[in-house]
Structure 1
Amino acid sequence: MAVGLSIPEALQPIPGIRLATAAAGIRYAGRDDLVLMDAGPDATIAALFTTNAFRAAPVVVAAEHQASGYPRWLLINAGNANAGTGEPGLLAARTCCEALAGVAGGSADAVLPFSTGVIGEPLPVDRITTALPALYAALAPNAWMQAARAIMTTDTVVKGGSRRVQLSQGEVTLTGIAKGSGMIHPNMATMLAFIGTDLVVEADALEGLLRQANRDSFNAITVDGDTSTNDALVCMSSGASGAGLATAADREAFASALDAICLELAQAIVRDGEGATKFVTVETTGAREHDEAVRVAETVALSPLVKTALFASDPNWGRILAAVGRAGIPDLVIERVAIRVNEVEIVRNGGRAPAYQEADGQQAFTAEEIHIVIDLGRGDATARKYTCDFSHEYVRINAEYRS
């Protein structure tokens, strides 16, 4: 039921990065559920992790390994989150890293583990470690599509994209994949996303670029307001192109491409939100500062009453106005607020716009893609959030998730 989303036609291989997938039987029968990524011996890796205080074991271990040295391999499993598993979960994650290091001939600290799936179940370590030798032997540069499929849980569509950027020292490629459909909300990324590039770049610079790209993409989406225990966003750079960020123009060009691919993946997650029938952009304009604009857009995007009205195609615009009013904006003058939905002016000066007709609102709310613009009339700051509607299907999917 993904809104305006289709399987990518092709994902470009990244020189110096290899991938492989395997069916380890972690939870799913007859499908790949284990992924290995090798970023190469000269890899630079930047990673951002969930801010949920209840971090899953693989997130704890990945963050430790990321901070301790020079990571090279990513090991990802679907079907089991290895969250809420205490010390045994940490031991399981570390055992998988050690097993891969033994197969690959490296250090366990060079492995970043990631998991997604059901919370509270022990990770079947033996199934993973048994699959590792064949998984390592199968590494190849053109397995991005298979990897994108293997990390899916409740996703209905493979999510991925590629970009090429011409820099002063040569061309570089970016390819990214993501999984996510429910339990989506800032902060951090609220899903798993992995991006590869052959850029030559130092770790601090890559992390800065990734944080910048994350702000207005993965940190600007919400499906249901629940930030996962397992969220991670990773960018791997093999350096195989030989091209770096030699000039300010190079940095701007690469940053623009990274921003674009992150936004594409983030929006794909919302478009494939569990039970989603509509893709919704909530934009705040006329705010005094960016954080204020974010607060208003997020309050509206997260409102169950707004989201259920959108599902019903009910132009109940009072719910939007009420959400703006409870966003906690100090000294908000409601008489300055204006609201448009798909270019239909609904609210002006804090009340119903004089020319507004219910039929026009009905047409706007019926669309598959809805753009809500809220002008606070008090400044120049803006922000956008991306969300979807709440449908009967969302409740069914999450009620039956463990069955």
Structure 2
Amino acid sequence: MDHFLYRDGNLFAEDVPLAEIAAEVGTPFYCYSAATLLRHFRLFEEALAGLPHLVCFAVKSNSNQAVLRLLGQAGAGMDVVSGGEYARAKAAGVPGDRIVFSGVGKTRAEMRAALEGGIRQFNVESEPEMEALSEVAVSLGVTAPIAVRVNPDVDAKTHAKIATGKSENKFGIPISRAAAVYARAAALPGLEVVGIDVHIGSQLTDLEPFRQAYRKVAELTGTLRAQGHDIRRLDLGGGLGIPYARSNEAPPLPLDYGAMIREELGHLDCEIEIEPGRLISGNAGIMVSGVIYVKAGEDRSFLILDAAMNDLVRPSMYDAHHDIVPLVEPAPAADQARYDVVGPVCETGDTFARGRDLPPCAPGDLVAFRSAGAYGAVMSSEYNTRPLIPEVLVQGGDWAVIRPRPGLDEIIARDRVPGWLSAASGEDA
């Protein structure tokens, strides 16, 4: 469920007509619903009720300060994968004891910043990283709490680019080597083993891969405890999918996910950490774009929008589907036209959809890309010197720009031209 619904023939974000926002900020732009963000976070809270737990929002899915502050004030922890995301979480008011630091390539500078600023735990992904963290912690005279990320070699049955739990993926240590790695961790100064971490991928639409991975984690918990390790937290990662194509997708509900966690891990008396991102923010956001041209090709029509692959890269990168709907509600039996929906970037890959049936469109019409709240704005760029597009947050009848569109002068002024390329040096002698 989300809060982007038609009312009186117009698409609203909660109680705000999206056309009103478009008129003020221009298109394209992202729009997020505070009510949807909070509802989805609370679904996970309800799913784990009765178990000691922490729901950590995956910052990589949507890192806007307003979104992080909204969720942080509701009690969410944060899962970060870079020093920049750690700084964003702290700036949003999230305390260090609710921040988990994941990622395969943490630098010593990032480790130092997190240890100095406060951290719940590091999810360590390799022995070299573990040794580096030990050195940094000892240099600061502190102890770093860690969970080792194990790779359970489970096929998540998701897109190859977002599968993380198979043996050929770069993430974690092979679960077969876990005992040796934990023994090494216990011997290193400055480290405290607190748990086990596992994450097998993103956009999973079946609970069975989770179940397979968690059974391996349960077995490993018993083994490590028998070897003297105090395993008191299980970080289960994120990855639960959302319905991008509403007509034919029905991913598991958070309540079903929570019930499965209880079945497989509830007997271990561990605190459960989960790190959902997409399911909290994905359907909580849309991207609104305007039609520039309708172009008749040899064997198809092109709907050319003012949004492009630099604004929403998921279709180009993952062949991802996003439902596209007009801001003006079509009549129930309205005619349909078939379009390739494209942007103005000079790449054939700048294509959002091929052969998509939509109500007939004309220049100036507005359309919305649903389920764009996760991995939309955070993956955008200024390719073709196209400014990053605004982000807007709606709460009830109120709305605010939470990231403005930069001007071209601002973008160009970031460049620095060396002195030897100044206008004077290029003059004829």
TM exceeding 0.5? no
TM-score by length of 1: 0.27
TM-score by length of 2: 0.26
> Which has the greater radius of gyration?
2
